[in-house]
Amino acid sequence: MKNISLFVCLCLTLLSVVSVTWAWLPSQNPIRGVNLGGLFVSEQWMMNDQWNSIGCGGRNDEWECVQALGQGKADAAFQQHWSTWITQADITEIASYGLNTVRIPLGFWMKEDLVRSDEHFPRGGFPYLEQICRWARDAGLYIILDLHAGPGGQDKNEQFTGHSVNYPNFFRSDNYERAYEFLEWLTETRHTNKNFANVGAIEVMNEPRPETDIEKKSLLDKYNPTAYDRIRAVEDRLGITQNNQLHIQFMGSRWGEGNPIQHWGSAPYFSLFDDHKYLHWDNGVPATRRDYLTHSCYDNVGAGSNSGNKPLIVGEWSLSPRDGDNAAFNISASDAVSWYGQWFAAQLRDYEKQRGWVFWSWKTNWIGGRNDWRWGYQQAVRAGVIPKSIDDAVAMNVKRVSTPHSPFPDEDSGDRDLQQTLEQEGGTLVTVTVQDS
C-alpha cells in the first residue's frame, strides 16, 4: 500500500474588500479583478457568436474584419459591439462579487491619429472607453489600462495583437514612437478627464515576444525605460505630485523576455509588474487533477526570476487546463463544478502571496461551440464554480493530509478518485475530490 500525501490549498488570510476610489494601488487589499477581454481588442476564439454578430465570421482578427466590411460599415458594427459586450450591468455585477479591479486591454488604434493609411482598425472607440471607466469609477473599481496590442504587433500569429502577422514588427523605432505617443495620451487623459479618475496603472506592453536578441535588448534597454520616462514627463508637465502619479506596469521576468528593469538595476518609483499564469500552455506540469492542485499549492509566482519584480500582479490566468477534454477535466463531469472550484481557490493562494490577480476574462461567448466557463468569470459564477462572494473562496486555509490507506491503485490502473473530508480552521468542513488520470 502506498502512503499518499494529498495537498489541498486554502487561503490563510481573509482580507476584506472596501469600496473606495484609488488613484494608485489599494493599500489594504490585494488586487482581485477581471479582464474586460474581447471588448476593445476582440479575439474570435473566445467570442464566436459575438464575432459573427459583428459581421466578422470567417475573419481571423480585427484587421481582416475591417478590410472585409469596409471602414464605415466596420466602424458601425464595432460601435454596436462596444455598446453591448460590457454594459453598466456588467460593471455592477463585477463589484457585487467583491472584486475591486478591472484591467482593460486596449489596441494602440484607440488613438486614431496613430493609425496609418495602410492599417485597418475600427474607429470611434474612445467614447465607449470613457463610459466604461466612468462606470468603473462610480462602482469603486480600480482600473488598469493595458496596451494590449502594439503598433506592428508585439507577437506573431496572435489575435490579441489585432492583426496576426508572420513577424512581430513592434520592435522598431517608428513603432516604439507610436507606442510612446499612445502612452502619453493615456496618461494625459487619466489626469485631465474626471471619468478616468480610478485609473491607477498603465501597462506599457502586453506579452511582447521579440524574435532576436537584438530586439529583446531593445525592449529592455530602450522601450521599457523610455516608456516610463515619457509617462513621467507628461505627469511632470501637468504638475502631478509624486504620490498621485500612476503605477507603470511591465511584464515580469518570468514572462521570459528578460528582467524588465535591468536598465535601472532596481524598480523605479511606482513601478508594477505583471505575470501571466496559464497552465493551459504549461507543458512542465502533468495534466492531471492531482498535479494541478499540487502545483498551485506550492508554486510561488513571486520567486525565482520574478523575485526582484515587486509589486507583482498576476494579470491573466484562467481555469483552463492543457488537456481540457480528457475525462478528468471535462466540464460535463459530475464533479467538475466542485473540482474546478477547488482549483480556483488553490490558485488564489499563490497569487495573493503577491499583490493580487486579474482573471481572464470577465465573459466569453461560445468557445469551441460550448459555454466554457473555464475562461469566463461571469459564467463560472453562474455555474457555481466560483462563489458569488470572493471572500468565500479566499477564506480557506492550507492543509496537508497524509492518508495511510491507498486511494490510488498502481500507476497503470487508469482513473483514480479520492474523497477526503478536511476540517478548516473555525470548524468549517471542506470536502475535496481529486481525480488523477
Reply yes or no: is the peptide bond before residue 127 cis, omega within 30 of 0.
no
Question: Minimal CA–CA distance to 415: which of 433, 401, 403, 430?
Answer: 433
Residue 42's nearest CA partner among 119, 107, 134, 123 is: 107
At a CB cut-off of 8 Å and minimum separation 6, what does 315 contact? 35, 103, 144, 146, 203, 249, 274, 275, 276, 357, 358
Catalytic residue chosen out of the listed positions 207, 215, 235, 257:
207
> Catalytic site residue 207?
yes
The continuous run of DSSP H or E covering 420 comes out as: strand 416-423
Look at residue 127 and give its three-state secondary structure: helix
Q: What phi and psi values does residue 415 have, to the nearest 5 degrees? A: -65, 145
CB 306 within 8 A of CB 312: yes
d(C-alpha 223, C-alpha 235), whole Å:
19
Of 137, 154, 299, 138, the residue nearest 215 (C-alpha): 154
Enter the C-alpha cell of residue 262: 535591468
- Catalytic, 62? Answer no
Q: Which of 93, 158, 316, 352 is an active site residue?
A: 316
Catalytic residues: 207, 316
